[in-house]
Structure 1
Amino acid sequence: MTAETAAATASYGSSASGSSFYAAMRILPQEQREAMFQIYSFCRQVDDIADSDGPRPERMAALQQWRDDIDALYQGNPPARLRDYVASVQKFGLKREDFLAIVDGMEMDVPQDIRAPDLATLDLYCDRVASAVGRLSVRVFGLAEDDGILLAHHLGRALQLTNILRDIDEDAGIGRLYLPREGLLHAGITSADPIKVIADSALPKVCTPLVIRARAHFEKADEIMGRNPRRVVRAPRIMSKYYRAILELLVARGFAAPRTPVRVNKIARLAILLRYALI
């Protein structure tokens, strides 16, 4: 899984300093920035466990230890690796259940690799690995409760669906397939073997509905951000514009094999940062 989300997440496969997350978070005041990098660090460490090639029982045990540590943090006895989180949890009202949801989402890849989940399972996965990060993040940004939860819902799903579309080949290389079962069957693809699916000529028919769904979530997220003060939505807006650019590059490239990687170039990234962070 390449969980990269939400009103705040990054590409966990790259260093924070090279990611859109880093650029978006650098514009925040110090306390908010520190809280966001704590959230990033937590997600990165849990994601690394889920994506490691260690024995599955050991990975399950390591994720359970994170659950125990989160419980200890909220019981007033934080372990060393979460001691610095106390101030952020208290100042921004970060919720225990959102941290635990992230662990649950990462764990969905561990007992066995996800392959062609049904739409309900895919949506649950997106909620846990992306929108839960968003629910933590919007509290740090200072959005009102109702709009914050809505933004996390829509932007988290938009970013995660974009990740799934971007990383089809990379995920297949490690035995995973996040494309929904219903979409595969509708396109006439009956296999759930990732390597066979990514080579199928009908793959673009599976991807098109996900593009439509991601665009709808981006539009809802824009609508929510548009009715909130610019200062509290600067960081999530940068993330949104960056990932919307990735999605449109994917659409322009197409989903038929061979698929060359897409990347937002440096000038475009700088333009997004200048427009939404500084101007």
Structure 2
Amino acid sequence: MSRGRCASDADHRHVAKAVRRAGSSFYWAMRLMARERRRALFAIYGFCRAVDDIADEGGTREEKRTALSRWRERIAALMAGQPGEDPLERALGEAIDRFALARADFEGVIEGMEMDVEGPPVAPSMEEFDRYLDRVACAVGRLCVKVFGAPADTGRGLAEHQGRALQITNILRDVEEDARLGRLYLPGPLLERYGIETRVPGEVVRHPALKELKLGLAKRAAAEFSAARAALAECKEGDMRAARIMLEVYEDRLYRMVGSGFVSEPGGRFAKLRERFRKLAIAVRVIVGGRERARRAT
């Protein structure tokens, strides 16, 4: 790890509070990390949340373009060694210096948000689909694995396989909700393969072949999870607990969707509580399992 700019404790507390208020599914997984790693992960999450909010919240397309362009400028300034202008920027500057985070990965995340801003995606090509997965998920993973301390080659493979697995799982979960917003992330070639000719999101979600298409895409996600799990097993350095918890939570979510035939689970307060307890159980299993492996190794 290199050393350079240091944010103040007050800056880090500000960022941590914002992450907790945002209700991240993985707040407590990040909390498990040693202080320097935890602070860097919170800063990365804060950046991702900031640009995601620009893409998803109100405002004209031009206003969103301008806001994302401003973030490109802010990242460029931080990469040039300039001090940050606010707590999040200062925390990011520290993380960049300490863990040698790559400008290309920050810009990749911004590009993913720009893809959403430029218009609701509707049945993209496979090339566009894979590029979107890389920008909105794998780029984030490439930032995180450096903080985790994973070996370079293995860590990159983990980031890319796990990023694709997580994002495909999200896409499968949100097909109907996205359709209501005029979005259709399912690739055009995949629709063709299953005989779905329409590209109107609301019609696609009512097509009788959609369930089979989802099962086909779920198989790709499962293969990516398997590859990510193999990469995790090769990571003998660093602290990979947060990555393992993320994998386990999302893989569980994928198999529950498949097992239910992609029927949405009932919502409401108790559903949220069940989901929290499920994540907690997975986190405990990962932590206890890690301790058992460490004891066996000694």
What is the CA-CA distance between 1:229 and the residue it aligns to?
A: 2.8
Which piece of structure 1 moves more, 226-235 or 268-277?
226-235
1:266/1:86 Cα in 2 relative to 1: closer, same or farther (>3 Å)?
closer
Contact 2:123 2:188 in 1 (8 A): yes
Q: Deviations over 1:92-118 (max 9, x none)?
A: 111111000000011101111111111
Matched, 1:276 2:286: yes
What is the CA-CA distance between 1:277 and the residue it aligns to?
A: 2.1
What is the CA-CA distance between 1:261 and the residue it aligns to?
A: 5.7
Q: TM-score, normalised by structure 1?
A: 0.89
- Greater Rg over alpha carbons, structure: 2
Matched, 1:92 2:99: yes
- Pick one of 130, 134, 138 that aligns with 2:137: 130
Matched, 1:178 2:185: yes
What is the CA-CA distance between 1:265 and the residue it aligns to?
A: 3.2
In the alignment, the residues of structure 2 paired with residue 93 and residue 175 of structure 1 have an alpha-carbon distance, to the nearest angstrom, of 39
In the alignment, the residues of structure 1 paired with residue 145 and residue 68 of structure 2 have an alpha-carbon distance, to the nearest angstrom, of 25
How many pairs align? 264
What is the CA-CA distance between 1:259 and the residue it aligns to?
A: 3.7
| Unaligned ranges ≥5, structure 1 | 1-13
Amino acid at match of 1:57: E
In the alignment, the residues of structure 2 paired with residue 156 and residue 23 of structure 1 have an alpha-carbon distance, to the nearest angstrom, of 19
- Pick one of 223, 229, 240 that aligns with 2:230: 223
Q: Which residues of 2 match residues 42-191 of structure 1 at below 5 A?
A: 42-81=47-86, 82-191=89-198
1:189/1:53 Cα in 2 relative to 1: closer, same or farther (>3 Å)?
farther
Greater RCO between the two (CA within 8 Å, min separation 6)? 1
Amino acid at match of 2:283: L
What is the CA-CA distance between 1:231 and the residue it aligns to?
A: 5.5
The residue that corresponds to 1:7 in the other structure is none
Structure with the higher fraction of residues in helix conformation: 2
1:212/1:124 Cα in 2 relative to 1: closer, same or farther (>3 Å)?
same
Percent identity between matched residues is 44
Matched, 1:33 2:45: no
1:260/1:198 Cα in 2 relative to 1: closer, same or farther (>3 Å)?
farther
Which piece of structure 1 moves more, 212-221 or 223-232?
223-232
1:89/1:183 Cα in 2 relative to 1: closer, same or farther (>3 Å)?
same
Contact 2:99 2:146 in 1 (8 A): yes
